[in-house]
Structure 1
Amino acid sequence: MVRTREFDTEAAVSQAMELFWTRGYEATSVRELTQHLRIGQGSLYAAFGDKDGLYRAALEHYRTTLAATAVEGLKNGADARSAIRTLLVERIRIAAADDGRGCLAVNAVCERLPGDPATRRTVQDMQDASRDALAEVLRVAAERGEIAARHDPQTLAAFLVTFLNGLLVTAKITPDVRALESLAEVALAVLG
């Protein structure tokens, strides 16, 4: 007879995401995960395969929730500059929270690469989605005359994603929202 799963895997992934985000992959043991999620080790392995499987599920959850929300916010912005400012400021606030926990995706890259191609793919997908959404916003904004058309939208979007990644790492070192927001204003100046 097959046992039915006795816990909510979506809630478990969300809770694991928070734990990995706060502590990092290496510093989070299977024992801590099972205690935090209030599940047995056998249940964790049955649902996710192993710690790596749960970590990948947590990264995917991050991608489909927080990262997707940031990209959607770009599409709903009043104008390009405001939408991009909002994206940068919101990401700064999230990264600086909890004494600088940073961005789960950037943390994953810093901690897990080069030996984890699955993490690389997941984070690359997030970055590609952000870059493509930014490029489209910038292309439309340039056509409307909202921003200077002196830069290729794809290149400018790649710059903004790269800048944001650096900002998110900096938030771990110096979780000072006000100081980081002033850096975002410098990046916005590139828009002309």
Structure 2
Amino acid sequence: MARTKAFDPDAALQAALELFWLRGYEATSMADLVEHLGIARASIYATFGSKHELYLKSLERYSRLLDPALIDELSQPGPALPAVQGLVTRFAEEAAGDDLGRGCFITNTAAELAAHDQHAARRVEASWTVLETALTTALTRARAQGELPADRDPRALARMLLVLMQGLRVMGKSGHDPERLRDAARQALELLG
């Protein structure tokens, strides 16, 4: 008879996500994972595969939780520009108040792994594509509704905002002056109006 797992794989994956998010991939050892998850190394391997596979599953979970919320936030009925402005402002405020220095798990992965890990790079790119597409769609709606000048390119603006938002997260994680982040966000938002 097969043995049943003595732990909740979903809870273990969430715990791994939190540890990787806080420490990063390289700074998290298998011993750290065993201790933090409270399960044996063999169980981690049997359930999730290697440390790298567990990291990628954690990253995928993070995206599954985050990406739909961003899409929902930008696709509410009514005026679209306030939703875009609110999202950019929220990113700036989160970055300015990042007391834990965690940043964004996607951005952290881009900085730590994407240049030399094609699997991580694909997951980062997929998440950024979701955000860029949601921003483009919202800005296209804003232009169609007369909230954005007709000569503005929604896709180019979305790309600029994506780069800005990721930059806010990097600078917030590194402890830069919160007003610098807020000023950058305000200047970017002025380009929309």
TM-score scaled by structure 1? 0.91
> Which one-letter code corresponds to 1:42 in the other structure?
A
Distance 1:78 1:11, change over 3 A: farther
Deviates more, 1:182-191 or 1:134-143: 182-191
Superposed, which structure 2 residues align to 1:126-165 within 5 Å? 126-165=127-166
What do you get for the CA RMSD once the two structures are aligned?
1.8
Query: Could you tell me whether the CA contact under 8 Å between 2:15 and 2:36 is conserved in 1?
Result: yes
SS at match of 1:56: helix
Listed one character per residue, the Cα deviations across residues 2-30 of structure 1 (whole Å, up to 9, x for unaligned) are 22222111111111111111111110111
SS at match of 1:146: coil
> Which one-letter code corresponds to 1:168 in the other structure?
R
Superposed, which structure 2 residues align to 1:1-192 within 5 Å? 1-76=1-76, 78-95=78-95, 96-174=97-175, 177-192=178-193
SS at match of 1:134: helix
How many residue pairs get matched? 192
Q: What residue ranges of structure 2 are gaps of 5+ in the alignment?
A: none
SS at match of 1:82: helix
SS at match of 2:67: helix
**Which is richer in helix?**
1
| C-alpha displacement of 1:87 | 1.6
Distance 1:13 1:175, change over 3 A: farther
Query: Could you tell me whether the CA contact under 8 Å between 2:92 and 2:185 is conserved in 1?
Result: no
SS at match of 1:97: coil
Distance 1:10 1:91, change over 3 A: farther
| C-alpha displacement of 1:78 | 4.9
| C-alpha displacement of 1:55 | 0.4
Structure 2 Cα separation of the partners of residues 176 and 81 of structure 1: 27
Structure 1 Cα separation of the partners of residues 48 and 130 of structure 2: 26
Query: Could you tell me whether the CA contact under 8 Å between 1:99 and 1:175 is conserved in 2?
Result: no
Distance 1:2 1:18, change over 3 A: same
TM-score scaled by structure 2? 0.91
Deviates more, 1:62-71 or 1:117-126: 62-71
